[in-house]
Amino acid sequence: MATIYDIAEKLGISPSTVSRALSGRGYCKEETRKRVMQAAEEMDYAPDQSAKMLKTRVSNKVLFTVPDMCNPFYFDMIQGINDVLDPYGYLLILMDTKNRLDEEKRAIQLLREKYADGMIMVSFHFCEENIDLLNRLQAPVVLTNKYISPVGKDHFHYVWVDTQEGIKEVVRHFASQGIRRIGYVGGRLQEQTGRERYEGYRDGLQEAKLSLRAEWIRESDYTEQGGYLAGLSLFDGSHLLPEAIICANDLMAYGFLRACEEKQIRVPEDLLLAGMDNLSLSSRTYPKLTSVSLQAEEIGRTAAEMLVRRMNGYNQPIENVKLLPELVVRDSSVSHRLTP
Amino acid sequence: MATIYDIAEKLGISPSTVSRALSGRGYCKEETRKRVMQAAEEMDYAPDQSAKMLKTRVSNKVLFTVPDMCNPFYFDMIQGINDVLDPYGYLLILMDTKNRLDEEKRAIQLLREKYADGMIMVSFHFCEENIDLLNRLQAPVVLTNKYISPVGKDHFHYVWVDTQEGIKEVVRHFASQGIRRIGYVGGRLQEQTGRERYEGYRDGLQEAKLSLRAEWIRESDYTEQGGYLAGLSLFDGSHLLPEAIICANDLMAYGFLRACEEKQIRVPEDLLLAGMDNLSLSSRTYPKLTSVSLQAEEIGRTAAEMLVRRMNGYNQPIENVKLLPELVVRDSSVSHRLTP
DNA sequence: CTGAAAGCGCTAACAC
DNA sequence: GTGTTAGCGCTTTCAG
């Protein structure tokens, strides 16, 4: 592959002139510029990015990490991120951290090694360890969870949705229909995301003066299969079944639906169901799934916008954006019985 | 950020020794290695990728380009690609070419500039222009269409699914139920993908001795919205409606379903419907959508495997893999009437 | 086993 | 307007 030196030599000029001609920065006679352009074309020249990066210290890449590649939610986020980043010429590096701390640390390491200029990170669990590494980092980072480390002085931005409020809203939705036995399928309680949503459930019940019963609660992993297994396990007991189930995300709700189908439990006739994420799928399942919209695309867009501002070097104060969840009621959560 | 020079200076040794110690290549006394490691740790050292790349000429990145980021089909492909690439430490750069030639050319240009070591490219339309650029390229490329350029001597691999056969299979499926009026919603006929699938439809009809009527055919763009509009337009005419519709992909079929819903046309009672891609969604829509499985994940996996082999420098002969489509029959395409 | 030195391809300050 | 020169941070011969 030809370099600017080859072009310079061929034209009998200096490499720096070639560089100026090609980049358009710095003075250069129009005529020489034309000659350079033509020679570059003829010699099939293409600038070498690694050399450019080494010199300029920018990679024009953004790292986006997700805890589960299989979840379409992140795909929706990508749309938003890409919408914003593309016009700036940023490339997107996609990484699946598989909800594992070591992979998240690896992502952070990639940033340290300047694989990318910035990162948007989705994690179920921000903890001292990864937060600490993030704070050490020079590069701009945007998280999609609310997180304020005990120490304070955080170096990252975040955009977040009040999922706790979202789940509470679902509880209210059920309670307003006179439902009293509400079950819950969530994520791991040790994880931030899992705890937040669970607390929404718990507080929602309390607010509605409903009782919380362990046999109606399952801890799962946000996957379709996890929701399916949680469903089977719930139906397995000899205890009184709940009248309604809240799944902490749509994927689990789909799995739960599958379990219902298998066990001949009709939704919404025998059991009401709601999820969270409002995947585009949810308006097409049968029955159509009630879900809390988290505005995936909007999260992506907002996160990307914050990141771009930050990467453009405006050493802005750390900003955080809160987005509001919105309950989208569909068939799966509406009781056909008359409300009392 | 500390460099190997800083470490060398601090330890009073040479940078090359530091480099050897860190990389593990070349001789290095165990003791010095330990000292280097510790100093690196203390000084918060991280190797600079651009410098490394400039020297080694490898980026450890693979570019994946899709014609429409909104289509979940590519998301499934990513799963497969990532499964294969991740163990090798390759990072994935995702790019949306928006089904535009100029963006495809931009992707090829990225490869020329060594943004990535190789590329997997999905395009609806390989033509002389982009194929020519691909053939000029030094870097390994895998396409997901069958393509043999007129000139021969192609430099890229491809993995492909016989979509033509897949569509024919759908026609047979309908014909075997005694259906005679079969309509079609496809992509642009000027594009490779659009033409292939259309020909499957055309030949399938011929094979079954059914007539092809222009008023039952719509040219669309593989999006949900496109399918919706095609549906409306089909129902708009005063002509006799077809008994069954084949959509060239699932996304259009979903849109078509929406149009049916709106026009109070029941599927499958009033109209039979089938799509192609077999998105995971299709088993959950109402009615469940019959679809031709193209094995997205398998395509991704296969493409990635070919690419890795190629990138590992084994200057292997160009290989091509053909995958077989498989018709997955669900509710949307099965007539409730007795077959004659 | 270690060090000196060249060079990957580009940019940019500075000199002319 | 153009050329000279010195890096960016790393790897890798080649000497020692």
Q: Min CA distance, A115 vs chain B (Å)?
A: 6
3-state helix, strand, coil in chain B (%, to 5): 45, 15, 40
Least confident of A49-63, A226-240, B309-323: B309-323
Mean pLDDT, range A155-173, rounded to an integer = 96
Burial B196-226 (b: 16+ CB within 10 A, else e): bbbbbbbebbeebebeeeeebbbbbbbbbeb
Mean pLDDT, range B96-104, rounded to an integer = 97
Same-domain pairing of A312 and A265: no
A-B interface: how many C-beta pairs under 8 angstroms? 102
Same-domain pairing of B206 and B334: yes
Chain A touched by B285 (CB under 8 Å): yes
CA distance A226 to A255: 7
For B202, how many CA atoms within 13 A lie in the half-sphere containing its CB?
A: 9
Q: Min CA distance, A340 vs chain B (Å)?
A: 31
Question: Which stretches of chain A are assigned E, i.e. beta strand?
Answer: 61-66, 91-96, 118-121, 141-143, 157-161, 182-186, 217-219, 244-247, 272-277, 290-293, 320-323, 326-328
Residue A93 has pLDDT above 90, yes or no: yes
Residue A246 has pLDDT above 70, yes or no: yes
Residues lying close to strand D (Cβ under 7 A), chosen from 20-49 of chain B, are: 20, 22-23, 25-26, 45, 47-48
Q: Are A328 and A293 in contact (CB under 8 A)?
A: yes
**Minimal Cα distance from A138: which residue of B?**
B1
| Percentage above 90 pLDDT, chain B | 86
B338 or B21, greater pLDDT: B21
Residue A60 has pLDDT above 60, yes or no: yes
What angle, 0 to 180 degrees and rounded to 10, lies between the N-to-C axes of helices A15-23 and A30-42? 90
Q: Are B246 and B170 in contact (CB under 8 A)?
A: yes
Q: Are A188 and A194 in contact (CB under 8 A)?
A: yes
Residue A135 has pLDDT above 70, yes or no: yes
Cis peptide before B287 (omega within 30 of 0): yes
CATH number reported for the structural domain that contains residue A73 in this entry: 3.40.50.2300
Chain A touched by B136 (CB under 8 Å): yes
Q: How confident is the model at residue B338 (pLDDT cuts 50, 70, 90)?
A: low
Q: Which tens digit of pLDDT belongs to each residue from B184-196? A: 999 999 999 999 9
- Picking from B248, B279, B278, B318, the residue whose alpha carbon sits closest to that of residue B72 is B279
Residue A151 has pLDDT above 90, yes or no: no
Q: Which tens digit of pLDDT belongs to each residue from A113-134? A: 999 999 999 999 999 999 999 9
Mean pLDDT, range A185-189, rounded to an integer = 97
CA distance A258 to B104: 40
The pLDDT value given to residue A226? 97
For residue A246, the one-letter residue type is I
Same-domain pairing of A190 and A270: yes
Q: Are B149 and B135 in contact (CB under 8 A)?
A: yes
Tell me which chain B residues have a C-beta less than 8 angstroms from the C-beta of A285: 284-286
Query: Phi/psi of residue B120, each to 5°?
Result: -115, 125
Q: What is the pTM of this model?
A: 0.94
A318 or A201, greater pLDDT: A201
**CB atoms A112 and B86 under 8 Å:** no
- Nearest CB to B78 within list A47, A61, A69: A69
- Give, rounded to a whole angstrom, the gap between the first and last alpha carbons of chain B: 78
The pLDDT value given to residue B340? 43
Same-domain pairing of B175 and B285: yes
Q: Which tens digit of pLDDT belongs to each residue from B74-93? A: 999 999 999 999 999 999 99
Residue by residue, DSSP assigns A198-267 as HHHHHHHHHHTT----GGGEEE--SSHHHHHHHHHHHHHSSSPPPSEEEESSHHHHHHHHHHHHHTT--T
Burial A96-133 (b: 16+ CB within 10 A, else e): bbebeeebbeebbebbbbbbbbbbbbbbbbbeeebbeb
Same-domain pairing of A41 and A83: no
Q: Is the CB of A22 within 7 Å of strand D? A: no
Long-range contacts of A144-152 (CB under 8 A, 24+ apart): A144/A77, A144/A120, A144/A299, A144/A303, A145/A192, A145/A193, A146/A320, A146/A322, A147/A192
CA distance A245 to A339: 18
Mean pLDDT, range A188-194, rounded to an integer = 96
Interface of A with B in 62-91 (CB under 8 A): 69-70, 72, 75, 78-79, 82, 86, 91
Q: Which tens digit of pLDDT belongs to each residue from B154-167? A: 889 999 999 999 99
The pLDDT value given to residue A319? 85
Least confident of A215-229, A263-277, A300-314, B112-126: A300-314
Residue by residue, DSSP assigns B115-175 as S-SEEEE--S---HHHHHHHHH-SS-EEESS----TT-----EEEEE-HHHHHHHHHHHHH
The pLDDT value given to residue B244? 98
Strands A118-121 and B118-121, by their bridges, are unpaired
Interface of B with A in 165-194 (CB under 8 A): none
For residue B243, the one-letter residue type is E
Residue B170 has pLDDT above 80, yes or no: yes
- Phi-psi domain of B47 (left: phi exceeds 0; alpha: psi -120 through 50; beta: other): beta
Residue B78, C-beta contacts closer than 8 angstroms, at least 6 positions apart: A69, A94, B64, B92, B94, B300
CATH number reported for the structural domain that contains residue B13 in this entry: 1.10.260.40
Average pLDDT, whole number, for chain B?
Answer: 94
The pLDDT value given to residue A314? 62
Chain B touched by A93 (CB under 8 Å): yes
For residue B130, the one-letter residue type is N
Q: Is the CB of B112 within 7 Å of strand C? A: no
Q: How confident is the model at residue A338 (pLDDT cuts 50, 70, 90)?
A: low
Residue A297 has pLDDT above 90, yes or no: yes
The pLDDT value given to residue A337? 65
Average pLDDT, whole number, for chain A?
Answer: 94
H-helix or E-strand spanning residue B258: helix B250-262
Query: Phi/psi of residue B72, each to 5°?
Result: -60, -20
Same-domain pairing of A271 and A174: yes
Q: Are A32 and A17 in contact (CB under 8 A)?
A: yes
For residue B70, the one-letter residue type is C
Q: Min CA distance, B79 vs chain A (Å)?
A: 7
Mean pLDDT, range B29-33, rounded to an integer = 89
Chain B touched by A51 (CB under 8 Å): yes
- Nearest CB to B113 within list A47, A78, A92: A47
Same-domain pairing of A151 and A62: yes
- Nearest CB to B93 within list A44, A54, A91: A91
Same-domain pairing of A197 and A106: no
Chain A touched by B93 (CB under 8 Å): yes
- Nearest CB to B46 within list A79, A94, A112: A112
CA distance A270 to A231: 14
Same-domain pairing of B156 and B168: no
Q: Are B84 and B78 in contact (CB under 8 A)?
A: no
| Percentage above 90 pLDDT, chain A | 85
Q: Which tens digit of pLDDT belongs to each residue from B209-264? A: 999 999 999 999 999 999 999 999 999 877 899 999 999 999 999 999 999 999 99
The pLDDT value given to residue A279? 95
The pLDDT value given to residue A148? 85
H-helix or E-strand spanning residue A27: none
Same-domain pairing of B89 and B179: no
Three-point CA angle A274, A276, A277, nearest 5°: 140
Chain B touched by A291 (CB under 8 Å): no
Same-domain pairing of A180 and A261: yes
The pLDDT value given to residue B51? 96
Distances (CA, A) of B44 to B8, B32, B68: 14, 18, 41
CA distance A250 to A223: 9
Mean pLDDT, range A252-263, rounded to an integer = 96
Burial class (CB in 10 A: 0-12, 13-18, 19+), B139: buried
What angle, 0 to 180 degrees and rounded to 10, lies between the N-to-C axes of helices A15-23 and A4-11? 110
- Picking from A185, A251, A193, the residue whose alpha carbon sits closest to that of residue A215 is A185
**CB atoms B69 and A79 under 8 Å:** yes
A286 or A106, greater pLDDT: A106
The pLDDT value given to residue A340? 43
Separation between the CA of A43 and the C1’ of D1 (whole angstroms): 24
Structurally, chain B folds into a number of domains equal to 3
Chain B touched by A132 (CB under 8 Å): no
Domain assignment of residue A13, given as a range: 4-47
Task: List residues bridging with A104 in a β-sheet.
Answer: none
- Nearest CB to B113 within list A46, A54, A57: A46
Same-domain pairing of A175 and A212: yes
Residue nearest to nucleotide D2 (CA to C1'): A17
